[in-house]
Amino acid sequence: MLIVKIGGGKGLDLSAIADDLASLKRPFVLLHGANQLRDELAVQLGRPPKVVQSVSGVSSVFTDDDAMDVLIAAYAGIRNKRLVELLRRAGLNAIGLSGADGGLVTGVRNSGIRIMENGRKLILRDNSGKPRSVNGALIRMLVNEGYVPVVTVPIADEDGSLLNTENDEVLALLARELKADEVVSLIDAPGLLADRNDNDSLVKPRSLKSGRGELKEG
């Protein structure tokens, strides 16, 4: 099984990606983000994202009820359905799903974010959590029937409430549950960088000599 993850950056050519995916001769599952679209939509709606920093120095987007509505609109709405549209136009029978649909991805709510405010340590609780399980039977059923699952957040907790979570953690669960033999991540970047802060530090492909010719590794 192949799993393809599309990042949420603005510079990705989604139409070209859909055309490339349509040329594949093997089944695959698509997982996607939409973080830049979410942030832009939040500003347009007058609900700019609230970023909080934990006492350990980790920054994260605080997902209250308003932020969850914007996340649903951006991820499970606009980006998901536009990808479904592009894939179907390219000849693939795509079906869009959030992690909450059919209990596709379930998880547990985070205990809270410890922050410092006015010299006091506080705990903020929001609609975020960690994915714990994937409904592999549902995905395999769809793939076996010729569908291409297009998956994104939110996921759901034990009682069905919606949660924001990290797509990379969902990716790891999908790969394990589906016994993926290949995972491809497409991100808004010029390529593999020796220094992530320097776009001129692109690592050039090198050639691998084999007994049957020359393979290009990128």
Give the domain ranges of the chain: 2-48+62-106+131-217
Which contiguous run of DSSP H or E holds residue 139?
A: helix 136-144
- Give the C-alpha separation, 114 to 130, whole Å: 17
Superfamily of domain 2-48+62-106+131-217: Acetylglutamate kinase-like (3.40.1160.10)
Residue 14 confidence (pLDDT) above 50: yes
Query: Crossing angle for the helix pair 14-22 and 80-89, nearest 10 degrees?
Result: 50
Bridge partners of 182, per DSSP, are 2
Angstrom distance (rounded) from CA 73 to CA 71: 5
Question: Order of strands, edge to edge, in the sheet holding 105-109?
Answer: 129-134, 105-109, 155-156, 162-163
More confident residue, 6 or 54: 6
Contact between 155 and 105 (Cβ < 8 Å): yes
Residues 74-109: tens digit of each pLDDT:
999 999 999 999 999 999 999 999 999 999 999 999
Residue 208 pLDDT? 36
And the tokens for 37?
Answer: 């679209």
Whether residue 16 is predicted with pLDDT greater than 90 in this model: the reply is yes
> What's this model's pTM, rounded to 2 decimal places?
0.85
Question: How many whole angstroms separate alpha carbon 67 and alpha carbon 38?
Answer: 9
Instruction: Dump pLDDT digits (tens) for 30-72.
Output: 999 999 999 999 999 999 999 888 888 888 889 999 999 999 9
**pLDDT at residue 205 greater than cutoff 80:** no
φ, ψ of residue 154 to 5 degrees: the values are: -80, 165
